[in-house]
Amino acid sequence: MEININHISFQYPNGYPALRDVHLNIPSEQHIALIGHNGCGKTTLARCIKGLLHPTNGEILLDGKSIRNEKISSLAHKVGFVFQHPDDQIFHQTVYQEVAFGPKNLGMSGEVQVEKIKEALALTGLENEKTTHPYDLSLSARKRIAIASTLAMDTDIIIFDEPTAGMDHKELTLMKVIFQELRNKKKTIITISHDMDLVLEQSDQLAIMAAGQIVKVGDPVILFRDMEENFSEMVAPQMVRLSQRVLKNNKTAKTVDQFVDFLIQ
Ligand SMILES: Nc1ncnc2c1ncn2[C@@H]1O[C@H](COP(=O)(O)OP(=O)(O)OP(=O)(O)O)[C@@H](O)[C@H]1O
Ligand SMILES: [Mg+2]
């Protein structure tokens, strides 16, 4: 599903202008990463796409249709949003109930519900925690519950707000498998992250935000190379920095394996 963010601005009730004339096009089936310093407006933008906040100016279109007058319940069929803080999202007594809530609410048939829940629990490594109380699990496991709840809803668009913060290596690997699975399913993905290595490896397009605005949009490798070459307040991922210092063929590796390939070519 294509997302068109058409010159939106947003002010919080206290008057703070968190988004200023944000214009961004996200083609269907693309994985876009949204980066920028703390407080630049990433979560606010995600909330607008999910319909939790309404832009003060401008509008957001999904497949050409404005969401301005669309009910939250209707948007829930299209946009999934994994909150930055899982505890803002979790409110059931068991992991299973938590993950089951979305599919049930969307009115999926019993059989489809069971299938979606099972798949989401498997992808997030939670099959053995079905009866566990979410608050008996660690913060990163609760993050995986929030991810599972959203995956189970099988929306065309999925927004991840800082999905890997606090995750260990095993969980990070799970997350990469989830991204691949969503790609296979032709989903449109928005990942908000401070993890530049992840963003470089996983995203097709990069949008850099600063002070409520999108300041740059483009190919992640090109934008990160530019970040490394020119003075920037942000630091490019390790692989980009290393590639630029070491590789002679002007190539940029996204992963360690690719770096070695490029080195010995
Ligand atoms: N409810 C609110 N009322 C007033 N200002 C708010 C509110 N929520 C957020 N803000 C402000 O809006 C700005 C953007 O916040 P937002 O949460 O979108 O940033 P962010 O880019 O997601 O930051 P982070 O990387 O820390 O998650 C910040 O300056 C924040 O303090
Ligand atoms: Mg945020």
Q: Answer yes or no: is the C-beta of 52 below 6 A from any ligand 1 atom.
A: no
Decide if pLDDT at 91 tops 80. yes
Q: Answer yes or no: is the C-beta of 249 below 6 A from any ligand 1 atom.
A: no
pLDDT in tens, 112-136: 999 999 999 999 999 999 999 999 9
Decide if pLDDT at 241 tops 90. yes
Range list of H helices, the chain: 42-50, 72-75, 95-105, 110-123, 139-151, 169-184, 196-202, 220-229, 238-246, 256-264
Q: Answer yes or no: is the C-beta of 205 below 6 A from any ligand 1 atom.
A: no
Q: Answer yes or no: is the C-beta of 159 below 6 A from any ligand 1 atom.
A: no
Q: What is the pTM of this model?
A: 0.96
Decide if pLDDT at 228 tops 90. no
- Strands 57-62 and 65-66, by their bridges, are antiparallel
Percent of the chain with pLDDT over 70: 100
Mean pLDDT estimate for the chain: 95
Position 108 scores a pLDDT of 95
Per-residue pLDDT band at 42 (split at 50, 70, 90): very high
The residue whose CB lies within 8 Å of the most ligand 1 atoms, and thus the one to mutate among 9, 10, 12, is 12
CA of 58 to the centre of ligand 2 (A): 21
Decide if pLDDT at 247 tops 90. yes
Position 234 scores a pLDDT of 87
Q: Answer yes or no: is the C-beta of 15 below 6 A from any ligand 1 atom.
A: no
Position 123 scores a pLDDT of 97
Mean pLDDT calculated for residue range 29-53: 97
Segments making up each domain of the chain, as ranges: 222-265
Q: Whose alpha carbon is nearest atom 16 of ligand 1?
A: 41
> Which candidate, 242, 209, 205, places its Cα nearest to that of 221?
205
CA of 167 to the centre of ligand 1 (A): 23
Mean pLDDT calculated for residue range 46-52: 96
Q: Answer yes or no: is the C-beta of 47 below 6 A from any ligand 1 atom.
A: no
